[in-house]
Amino acid sequence: MAGMAGRLLLGAVLGVLAFEAGLRLIQATPLWRALPVVPPILGLPDRETGFVFRPGASGIWMSENRAPVSINAMGLRDSEIDPHKPAGVFRVLLTGDSYIEALQVDQRHSMEALSEERLAGLGHRIEIANLAMSGHGPLRQLARLRQMAPRLDGDLVVSFLRVSDFATSELSDDSKFPAYVEDSSGALVEGHAFQNRFMVRNADNPLVRLSLWVITNSEVARILYWLHREPPIGGTARSGQEASGGNSPACDPDYWRTLDELWRHHRPEGQWRRAARFAKDYSDWLAAGKLPAIVVLRLAPVPSAPGCTGARLERTRIMGEARQLFADRGVATADIEEMVEREVGKADPRPVLHFGGEGRGHYNHTGHAYFARALTTIILRHLTGQDAQKSAHFRGKTPVLPALSEVRGKAHPVDRAAGWR
């Protein structure tokens, strides 16, 4: 009986090892493009931001597209970055959410990498460090900057913020991530209730660390892990597939009601207080570090169809208010969706730019290329001083960019930047 049990156990162990070897073989060869792989676990619990990337983590991302993903030694979804910034390099700290994190595409095809490449092609030594992480709303991005900026010695901050995030519980619910909560006197303070979550509280527990190590390093263990969670796997229609029809929800004026209430009428009052508080904290942090910043505001574009005029007006008003909130704090802003929409030149650019034929999902390769152009333009505009008047912190600071000195007074740098090879 014991002999039988022993042999059964041996067979099971061999089965697990063979399966583990098979999955690793798939991941290490071009077979990962088609055959099953187990989604990676890229994050670790973190007391400051909720979770961070695990340095050295890698795997195949399987949601919306298959892409190899790796996290560098500094815990960024980026190529390796020298923590000691080389002389003459202008370093941009880029924050954002999953759209900027871009797990859906190979890192080389992300807007950050494409923008870096374009800037290098124009003769600029500009490095863009991608600090973006999935789900990062405004306050989480600020927490991320607080955590990473001292290690990176940045020269400019570019933060991609969703205008709609200010109207959700993103800034008020601290059960999973930092947020603004009211203390006993009703004043807003940063709440960290998420630190009581089991994984965050016990992040240093040896057993928890061992479990995490096993799950992150064993394909079979991760299969069991994903049994209890929704694995990030999902197919997509071919990129570029035109929308099958029907009106964009952004065309419906009702779609804008909540945002209109917040940005134009400052209701609900608690939500508005949090928005204003964030703008203050963000600009105070920039001032303390003497860092210039550009807040790239993301707001759903409205198709240019005739029936969408009302919605377009709503969007313009809301975007204007959002930009004003930051301008009042001396922070420059940009409306990137509008920039890209103009470039794409289609009535509804969403199907072109996003995975999923009906405008759902993250940016596809085309989307990243367009947004990279816009990001490059935004950075160059800033460097040539076009946004200098809007940024109090930038005043008086001269960028060390040899190539720009050649173009001052000659062709407009934005036009040059727009002249892609």
Partner 1 sequence: MLFNSVPFLALVTATFGAVRLMPGIGWLVLLASAIFYGFAGPRDSLLFLAVIAANWAVSFAPPRARLWLAALVNIGVLAFLKYRDFLTGGEATAGSFVDVALPLGISFYTFQMMAYHVDLARGVTRRASGLPQFATFVAFFPQLIAGPIVRAHQLLPQVERLFAGYRRRLRLLTFGLGLICLGLIKKIVFADSLAPIVDDLFAMPPDSVFDAWLAAWLFGFQIYFDFSGYSDIGVGAAYLLGIRLPFNFATPYLSAGPREFWQRWHITLSEWIRDYLYIPLGGSRGGALRSTAVLLAVMALAGLWHGANLTFLVWGAAWGAYIAMTRLVPDRMRLPGWISWFPHMLVVMALWVFFRAPGIEAALNHLGAMSGLSGLPLFQTVEVGSAGLGLAASGCAALMLLHAGEYFLRRTEMIAVLRRVNGPVAWSFLATVSVLLVLLPHGESNPFIYFRF
Helices marked H in 164-247: 198-201, 206-217, 219-226
Q: How many residues bind partner 1 (CB under 8 A)?
A: 33
Rounded to the nearest whole angstrom, what is the least distance from the CB of residue 3 to partner 1 in the complex? 9
**Cβ nearer to partner 1, comparing 36 with 310:** 36
Q: Based on the shown chain and the rule CB under 8 A, indicate whether residue 14 belongs to the binding site for partner 1.
A: yes
Q: Is the dihedral angle over the CA atoms 231, 237, 239, 240 positive or is it negative?
A: negative
Residues numbered 115-154 forming contacts with partner 1, rule: CB under 8 A: none
Q: Based on the shown chain and the rule CB under 8 A, indicate whether residue 8 belongs to the binding site for partner 1.
A: yes
Of these, 189, 210, 224, 418, which contacts partner 1 (CB under 8 A)?
224
Burial 316-346 (b: 16+ CB within 10 A, else e): eebbebbbebbbebbbbbbbbbbbbbeebee
Site string for partner 1, 314-353 (x = CB under 8 A): ----------------------------------------
The answer to whether 72 and 129 are in contact (CB under 8 A) is: no
CA distance 359 to 131: 25
From the list 50-58, 201-209, 236-244, 263-271, the region that binds partner 1 by CB under 8 A is: 236-244
Q: Based on the shown chain and the rule CB under 8 A, indicate whether residue 12 belongs to the binding site for partner 1.
A: yes
**Cβ nearer to partner 1, comparing 140 with 365:** 365
Burial class (CB in 10 A: 0-12, 13-18, 19+), 257: exposed
**Cβ nearer to partner 1, comparing 10 with 313:** 10
Of these, 41, 57, 62, 262, which contacts partner 1 (CB under 8 A)?
62
CA distance 385 to 408: 10
Helix-then-strand count for the chain, H and E: 15, 12
- Residue 155 has which token pair? 């020269």
The answer to whether 77 and 107 are in contact (CB under 8 A) is: yes
CA distance 196 to 162: 27
**Cβ nearer to partner 1, comparing 7 with 209:** 7
**Cβ nearer to partner 1, comparing 63 with 95:** 63
From the list 41-49, 234-242, 381-389, 390-398, the region that binds partner 1 by CB under 8 A is: 234-242
Q: Which residues bind to partner 1, rule: CB under 8 A?
A: 4, 7-12, 14-16, 18-19, 30, 33-36, 38-39, 62, 220, 223-224, 226-227, 231, 233-235, 237-238, 241, 357
